[in-house]
Amino acid sequence: MAKLSSISFVGISLLLPILLVISIVQAQETAPSPSTPGEQRAISDTELRSFAKAYVEFEKIRAEYAPKIGAANTPQEKGSVEQEAVVKFGKALEKEGLTMQQYSALYQTVSVDQQLREKALRLIEEERARS
């Protein structure tokens, strides 16, 4: 079982394009809303389990597509492979009843809340063991 730290629990190499898409989607879907620092909504166990399942799927997608991205010969080919990975991740999220926006919000909340992060990591490890 790999030891996971707070931020390194996501593979950065493939996450950057996905986060870019998420940020674009968020900008299109939501208007800015005022919030105070530290303000977090409650996350249900069901949402956290869906997040864990989606995260494990993300790891599988990253493992499949990172070599393809690295082997891309042109920026267009790399972009095409990245887009394919983003679409596949979107389908994995949909299967878990999440949108990219919801996943991003869950990820952000889990990243800043130590207790929630520990619970998420336990669920991720359980999900890895099942797959």
Mean pLDDT value across residues 72-100: 94
Q: Which pLDDT tens digit goes with each residue over 43-77?
A: 999 999 999 999 999 999 999 999 999 999 999 99
Q: Is the pLDDT of residue 118 over 90?
A: yes
Q: Which residues of 7-36 are buried (b: 16+ CB within 10 A; e: fewer)?
A: eebbeeebeebbeebbeeeeeeeeeeeeee
Domain range annotation of the chain? 12-25+44-130
Percent of the chain with pLDDT over 70: 69
- Residue 31, pLDDT above cutoff 90: no
- The pLDDT tens digits of the residues spanning 95-113 come to 999 999 999 999 999 999 9
